[in-house]
Amino acid sequence: MDRIIEKLDHGWWVVSHEQKLWLPKGELPYGEAANFDLVGQRALQIGEWQGEPVWLVQQQRRHDMGSVRQVIDLDVGLFQLAGRGVQLAEFYRSHKYCGYCGHEMYPSKTEWAMLCSHCRERYYPQIAPCIIVAIRRDDSILLAQHTRHRNGVHTVLAGFVEVGETLEQAVAREVMEESGIKVKNLRYVTSQPWPFPQSLMTAFMAEYDSGDIV
């Protein structure tokens, strides 16, 4: 539940608007609210980091608005909370009115959701599941260069999960589409929220099975 920020409130401040993040001096603000001219603004606590609250403030600042990518080198937990804040701010901004009946909506007090005051429809933040897979053949690993990477960056294969598709099926399809080969011995490794803009990355290892790279 959000509330008005008071002078002595302190912690980490995720000030976000339209998927941008306020980064004075290139850093995520930390300290008392008064130091960042936040007193009197509405804020929502979205978590804690090392015993300190992490606050979301939905606000556009005139200067120093940047991408959450600029804080990707923060500790993983704090980066994830910054990403959560950016995604929630965009969710609340883009769901002011109900998509079914057009009436005004309001934030839930018990979960990350928006509720319609008229038809009682409930909306949750969109999360797009993705797969990323490292494919090995003997002592080699398959890397590819995507057309959007203009600086020579090569990566392992990745892509979005389609409707009605399992994670395993998504791996097989993406690998075939991007490289023309089949894989075997698929093994889940880990997952990570990835706020670009709202993905959940699921990582796998696999072995080359058959086919020629296209």
Whole-model pTM: value is 0.90
> Would you state the pLDDT for residue 152?
76
| Torsion sign, CA atoms 10, 12, 18, 20 | positive
For 165-209, the DSSP string reads: --HHHHHHHHHHHHHS-EEEEEEEEEEEEETTTTEEEEEEEEEEE
Asked if the model's pLDDT at residue 38 lies above 80, the reply is yes
| CATH architecture assignment, domain 128-210 | Alpha-Beta Complex (3.90)
SS3 of residue 21 by DSSP:
strand
Residues forming a β-bridge with 158: 132
175 in Cβ contact with 147 (< 8 Å): no
Which helix (H) or strand (E) segment holds residue 44: the answer is strand 42-49
Instruction: Please determine whether the domains at 3-94 and 128-210 fall in the same fold group of CATH.
Output: yes
> Would you state the pLDDT for residue 1?
75
SS3 of residue 45 by DSSP:
strand
Q: Give the span between the Cα atoms of 83 and 68, in whole angstroms.
A: 7
> What are the tokens at 9?
């409130």
> Tens digit of pLDDT for each residue in 110-148?
999 999 999 999 999 999 999 999 999 999 999 998 776
Q: Which residue has the tokens 């959007």?
A: 148
On average, the pLDDT of the chain sits at 95
Q: Which residue has the tokens 């509330």?
A: 3
**Max intra-chain CA distance, the chain:** 64
Q: Where are the domains of the chain?
A: 3-94, 128-210
Q: Give the span between the Cα atoms of 72 and 86, in whole angstroms.
A: 13
| Torsion sign, CA atoms 172, 175, 178, 182 | negative
Fold of 3-94: Nucleoside Triphosphate Pyrophosphohydrolase (3.90.79)
